Amino acid sequence: MVGRPGSGGIAFTLAQAGTDPAATALFAALGLPFLAALLVPLVHRALGERTAWFAALVALVSFGLVASQYGAQGAVTLPWIPTLGISLTLYLDGLSLLISLLASGVGVLIFTYSAGYMHDEPGKARYYATLLAFMGSMLGVALASDLIALFVFWELTSITSFGLVGHYRDSESAQSAARQALIVTVSGGLFMLVGFILLAYASEVAFGTPTFTLIGGPDSMIANADAMRTALRETGLFLPVLGLVALGAAAKSAQVPLHFWLPSAMEAPTPVSAFLHSATMVKAGVFLVGRTRPLLTGEEWMVLFASLGLLTMTVTAIRALGATDIKELLAYSTASHLGLITAGFGFTNQLGAETGAFHILNHALFKATLFLVAGIIAHEAGTRALDELGGLRHDLPLVGVITAIAALGMAGVPPFNGFYSKELLFEAAYETAHELGGLAWTFPVVAVVGSVFTFLYSIRFLWLFMGAKPDSLGEVHSPSYALVAPPAVLAGLAMVVGIDPQLAVDAIVQSAFASTVAGEAHSMSVYLPTYLSPAVAMSAVTIAAGIALSPFYDRLHDGVRWLSRGPATATWWYDGAVVGLEHASAVSLPRLQTGRFRTAAVWLLGSTVVLVLTGYAAAGVSLPAFTGLSITAPVVVILAVAVLAAAAIGIAPSHVAGVLTLSILGFMVALFFVLASAPDLALTQLVVETLVLVIFLLVLDKLPAFYGEASRSNVVRDAVLAAGVGLTVCLTVLVATAPSPDTIAGFFVETAPLPEGGGGGNIVNVILVDFRAFDTLGEISVVAMAAVSVITLIAMRGRGESS
Amino acid sequence: MSARDATVIARTVSRIVFPLILLTAFALLLQGHNRPGGGFIAGVLTAVAFALLMIIFGFDYIEDEILGRDMDDTRAAALTIVTDNSLVFALGLALAVGSGLVAMAFGLPFLTQTVVFLHDLPVYHELELASAFVFDLGVYLVVVGALLTVLTVVGAE
C-alpha cells in the first residue's frame, strides 16, 4: 500500500493498491460534526460544562470513521445539482486523509483542552457549536472533490471561523479582527470560485462536456491533466486560473501580502487559535496548492509559488522577531511555515512535493502544541507579554519539556521533526537552483535567510522557560490535566516523527506526497544525514548564524519594531483601504441619497437604463424584423390619443391634472388591448388603471396642489432620462416578444381545454391556474409579501419610536 | 377623504354602485375559467369598490356602519382594518396552497386541477365545477386583502 524505502526505484502508490472507500463512513464523518453542532444547544442545557467531552467524542468518532478508511482511495458521490453536473463527491487519497485526520484528530485534543480552558468563558454553547461546524467544514474542504462543494465548504470555514475569532462579543478588537479575517479569506475564496468556473469551462473545451470534478474518476480534471493544461493554454486561461486559485489559497493561508489577518485573528480564544491557525483553516490554502499541483504545475507555477512561499516565509519570520506577545509570535511564525509549505509545493521537482506534504504534518504537530502551551502560560501566569515572562521551567517543568520538543522542531534543529521537512525544502531549492542556474540561486539563499530568523524566534519562545523568573511575574499555577494532556500528546507525536521520520513517512506522508505529484511518485525516504550534502551545509549555516545572532535578539526585535510601522506593513494598507472606503461612501452617499424621491428615481432609472443598454450592446442583441404588421384606423386614433396624453403629462399644471392625463394614456392602452383581441388583458388594464387612479388621488390629497418652478437643467435631465427609459423599455419589449419559430402559444391553444375533458375556455385563465399555477402561486405570495412589507414599513412605523 | 368632503351626489351614487361593482366582481370570478375574468381582476375590482367607500365615506363609516364596531381613533380604526385585511390575504394564500395539496393527497403532482360537469340543472342546464376555481378564489382573496391593506395604510397616512 505504501512505498517502502529502498524498494527499488519506482514505488507503487495508493492509487494502484487502494480500494474504494466506504461511502457511509465518509459521509458520516463529514455529517456528524454538523449534526452535533445543531444538537449542542440541547446538549449544553443537559451537560453544561461537560459539553466539551461530548464535542470531543464527536470529533473522535469522525476521526475513527476517517481512520477506518485508511488505505482506501477513491471517490464516493451523492447527487446534488445533476443538471449542472455538480455533485457532492468526496474523494479520499493520501492528501485528503492527512488533512482530515489532522482536522478531526487535533479536534479531539482541542475539545479536550477546551474543557479545561473555557471554564470561565462566556457563550460556551455557541463556542462548541461553531467549533464543531468548523471542524465539519474543514473535513469537507479536505474531502470534497467537486469544485463547487469544495468552494462551499471553503467559505463555510471562513464563516464559522468568523464566529470563532470574534468569540468575545464585547471586545472591539476581536470584532474587527473577525471582520478582517472574514473579508480577506472570503474575498479570496470568491476569486477562487471564478478560477473554478474557468476550470469547468476549460474542461468543456477539453472533454466536450463540462465537469466540476477535480479529482477522482476517469473523467476528473486531474486524471486528464495534460488535456486540461492544453485546453487552458489554448483558451488563454492558464495564467488567469493559476492566479485566481493562487489568490484564494494565499488569502486562506496568509501569504504575503495577505498575511496580516492571521496575527489579528489571535484575538480568538487560544484553543481556537491552536485549531484554526495551526492545524486546520490556514492549512486549507496550502492543501489547495497541493491539490491543484498535479493539474497546474509548470514553469509559471514554480515561479509564482516558490517565490510567494519563500517571500512569505522570510518576511513573516522577520515580523515574528518584532512580536511582543507570545501568540503574536506564533501567528507570524504560522504564516512563515505556511510559506515554507507553499514554497515546497511550488518547486516542481518531487522533493518540493515531499517538503509540502511532510511539513503539513510537522507544522500541525509542533504549532498546535505551542499554541496550547501559549494558552497554558496565559491561563496560569496571567500574561502573554514576552517581556514579562521567563524562567517558567521552575513552575511548569512538564510544559517546559513539551515546549522544548515543539520549539526545537519549529527551529529546524536535528533530530526534531521540523528539521526533516526543512531539510527537504533546502534540497528542493538547491536542486532547482542547480538545474536552472542564474537567478534561481536566490531560492536557496532566501530559504536559508528565512530559516535563520525562524531559528531565532523559536529559541526566543523556548527562552520563556529558561533564564531567571522576572520579579513582576506572580505565582504561576499548575495547569489541570485537561490542559496539559493535549499538548503532551502532540509533542509526543512530534517526538516520534523526530526520532523515526520514516515511520511517519510510511504511515501517511508518502501517500499524501504521491497525491501532489503529477505522474509516478518515487518512494520517499527521510533519515538523519550522515554525510555532508549541500542541504546539510545549509542547515549548518542556518543554525550557526542563528546561534551567532541570538545575543542580539533584543536589538533585532527593536529594529523590526522600528521598521514595521506605517506603509511598511500590510495592516496599514488594509486599514487605509477600509477607512478610505468608509470615507468615500460617507462622501458619496449624500449625493446619491438626498432623501428626495426625485434623486433616488434619477439614480435608479439612470443606472437601470445604462445597465440594460450596455447588456444589450455586450450581448449583441439585434432587433427582430417586424412581420405581420397591420395598422388599422382605430388603432392609429387610439395610439395618437395616447401619445398626446403622454405629451400632456409633461405640461400638466397640477398633480391632479397630471394623474388624470396619465389615466387617459392607461385607458388608451386598454382600448388597444381590446382591438388586439385581448379582452382579458383589457379588462385587467381597465380595472388596474382605475385602482391606480384611486390610489393616486388618495395620496395627492395630502400633497401641495402645484409644482414648483423647475430649473432648465432639471427639465433637460428629466427629459433625457425619460427618453432613455422609454427607449430601453421599448427595446426590451421588442426583443422579449420577438416571435420565435416554435412559438409556445400553439401548445397552449391545442392543450387548452384543461383539465382534460373540457372546461377552461379562457386560455389566459387556464394558463394562470392550470399550466402555470405554480407561477401564479409565487406571484400571489409576492403580492402578499408586498402587503406585509407595507404593513411593517408604514403602519408600524410609529410604534418602535413611541414605545 | 373624509365624509364631510363628499357631495350628496357622490354619496348616493356610491351607495348604488358599490353592490353593483361587487356583483360584477363576483361574476368575473365565477366565469373566469371560460370567459374574460378570473381571480386577479375580480380581486382588483372588489378592492376598487371598497376604495370608493373609503374615499366617499371615510374609515369611520366603514367601521361603524358596515362592521358595526365603535372606534374613536381613526388611526386605531385603520390598524384594525389592516389586521382584518391581512387575515384575508393570509386565508387566500392558505386556500391556494391547500388546493394544491389536495391534489397531492390523491397522489397527483402539486397543483393538479380537475373538473366535474353537472348536467340537467334548472336555469344553468350544465354547470362546470372546476377545482381550479378554489385556487382562483385563493388568488382573489390574496389580491383583495393585499390591495385593501395598501389602501388603508396609505389612506390612513
Is the bond preceding A739 in cis, omega lying within 30 degrees of 0?
Answer: no
User: Considering the domain boundaries, does residue B76 fall inside one?
Assistant: yes
The DSSP result for A35-75, as a single string, is: HHHHHHHHHHHHHGGGHHHHHHHHHHHHHHHHHHTTTB-EE
The confidence score (pLDDT) of residue A135 equals: 93
Q: H/E element holding A274?
A: helix A270-274
Place of cell 416571435: A739
Whole-angstrom distance, CA of residue A709 vs CA of residue A731: 33
Whole-angstrom distance, CA of residue B144 vs CA of residue A190: 44
Beta bridge partners of A167: none
Reading the block at residue A498, the C-alpha cell is 523526530
Name which of A137-151, A616-630, A747-761, B18-32 the model is least confident about.
Answer: A747-761
- Find the distance separating the first CA and the last CA of chain B, reported in whole Å: 11
User: Bigger pLDDT: A763 or B146?
Assistant: B146
Whole-angstrom distance, CA of residue A203 vs CA of residue A221: 7
Name which of A169-183, A490-504, A545-559, B127-141 the model is least confident about.
Answer: B127-141
- Find the distance separating the first CA and the last CA of chain A, reported in whole Å: 71
Average of per-residue pLDDT across A605-627: 86
Q: Do A758 and B117 lie within an 8 Å CB cutoff? A: yes
Q: Which residues of B32-59 are buried (b: 16+ CB within 10 A; e: fewer)?
A: bbbebbbbbbbbbbbbbbbbbbbbbbbb
Option in B82, B111, B147 nearest A773 (CB):
B111
Q: Is A683 on the interface with B (CB under 8 A)?
A: yes
User: Considering the domain boundaries, does residue B121 fall inside one?
Assistant: yes
Chain B residues within 8 A of A776 when measuring between CB atoms: 96, 135, 139
| A535-541 contacts at long range (C-beta below 8 A, 24 or more positions apart) | A535/A423, A535/A424, A535/A426, A535/A427, A535/A430, A536/A423, A538/A426, A538/A430, A538/A444, A538/A447, A538/A448, A538/A451, A539/A412, A539/A414, A539/A419, A539/A422, A539/A423, A539/A426, A539/A451, A541/A448
Give the dihedral of Cα atoms A650, A656, A659, A663; nearest 10 deg. -120
Cβ under 8 Å to A: B residues 40-59: 40-41, 44-45, 47-48, 51-52, 55
Average of per-residue pLDDT across A634-640: 90
> What's chain A's Rg over C-alpha atoms?
33
Chain B residues within 8 A of A753 when measuring between CB atoms: none
Option in A774, A786, A794 nearest B146 (CB):
A786
User: Considering the domain boundaries, does residue B22 fall inside one?
Assistant: yes
Taking Cα atoms as reference points, which of B37, B88, B101 lies closest to residue A768? B37
The confidence score (pLDDT) of residue B53 equals: 82
Q: Is A733 on the interface with B (CB under 8 A)?
A: no
Nearest chain B Cα distance for residue A746, angstroms: 18
The confidence score (pLDDT) of residue A656 equals: 80
The confidence score (pLDDT) of residue A5 equals: 40
Chain B residues within 8 A of A769 when measuring between CB atoms: 33, 38-39, 113, 132, 135-136, 139
Non-local (6+) Cβ contacts of B1 within 8 A are: A698, A701, B54, B55, B58, B155
CA distances to A250, A346, B8 from A338, in Å = 10, 12, 86
Whole-angstrom distance, CA of residue A425 vs CA of residue A433: 12
Name which of A147-156, A736-745, B68-77 the model is least confident about.
Answer: B68-77
Give the dihedral of Cα atoms B69, B72, B78, B82; nearest 10 deg. -40
User: Considering the domain boundaries, does residue B28 fall inside one?
Assistant: yes
pLDDT digits (tens, 9 = 90+) for A573-607: 888 998 999 999 999 888 887 777 778 888 899 99
For residue B91, the enclosing domain spans 8-156
Whole-angstrom distance, CA of residue B57 vs CA of residue B7: 10
- Residue B43 pLDDT exceeds 50: yes
pLDDT digits (tens, 9 = 90+) for B71-124: 556 556 666 777 778 888 889 999 888 888 888 888 777 877 777 777 777 776
- Residue A678 pLDDT exceeds 70: yes
Quote the pTM value.
Answer: 0.74
Q: What is the mean pLDDT of chain B?
A: 79
Non-local (6+) Cβ contacts of B81 within 8 A are: B59, B62, B63, B148, B152
Average of per-residue pLDDT across A342-363: 91
Nearest chain A Cα distance for residue B87, angstroms: 11
Average of per-residue pLDDT across A205-229: 86
The confidence score (pLDDT) of residue A153 equals: 94
Reading the block at residue B16, the C-alpha cell is 348604488
Whole-angstrom distance, CA of residue B137 vs CA of residue B30: 9
The confidence score (pLDDT) of residue A14 equals: 38
User: Considering the domain boundaries, does residue B1 fall inside one?
Assistant: no
Chain B residues within 8 A of A773 when measuring between CB atoms: 100, 111, 113, 132, 135
Nearest chain B Cα distance for residue A796, angstroms: 9
Reading the block at residue A12, the C-alpha cell is 507503487
Chain A residues within 8 A of B44 when measuring between CB atoms: 684, 687-688, 691
Instruction: Give the number of domains in chain B.
Output: 1
The confidence score (pLDDT) of residue A48 equals: 82
Average of per-residue pLDDT across A278-295: 89
- Taking every pair of Cα atoms in chain B, the longest distance, rounded to a whole number of angstroms, is 58
Q: Do B113 and A769 lie within an 8 Å CB cutoff? A: yes
The confidence score (pLDDT) of residue B156 equals: 66
User: Considering the domain boundaries, does residue B105 fall inside one?
Assistant: yes
Average of per-residue pLDDT across A344-369: 91
Q: Which residues of A397-430 are buried (b: 16+ CB within 10 A; e: fewer)?
A: eebbebbbbbbbbbbbbbbbbbbbbbbbbbbbbb
Q: Is B17 on the interface with A (CB under 8 A)?
A: no
Option in A684, A690, A777 nearest B96 (CB):
A777
Q: Do A691 and B139 lie within an 8 Å CB cutoff? A: no
Whole-angstrom distance, CA of residue A288 vs CA of residue A193: 12
* pLDDT band with cut points at 50, 70 and 90 for residue A218: confident
- Residue B155 pLDDT exceeds 80: no
Amino acid in the structure at residue A354: E
Chain B residues within 8 A of A684 when measuring between CB atoms: 40-41, 44
* pLDDT band with cut points at 50, 70 and 90 for residue A281: confident
User: Considering the domain boundaries, does residue B133 fall inside one?
Assistant: yes
Q: What secondary structure, in 3-state letters, does A387-438 show?
A: HHCCCHHHCCHHHHHHHHHHHHHHHCCCCCHHHHHHHHHHHHHHHHHHHHCH
- Residue A13 pLDDT exceeds 50: no
Average of per-residue pLDDT across A259-273: 87
Find out whether A338 and A355 touch, Cβ atoms under 8 Å.
Answer: no
- Residue A753 pLDDT exceeds 70: no
User: Considering the domain boundaries, does residue B2 fall inside one?
Assistant: no
Taking Cα atoms as reference points, which of A25, A27, A33 lies closest to residue A54? A33
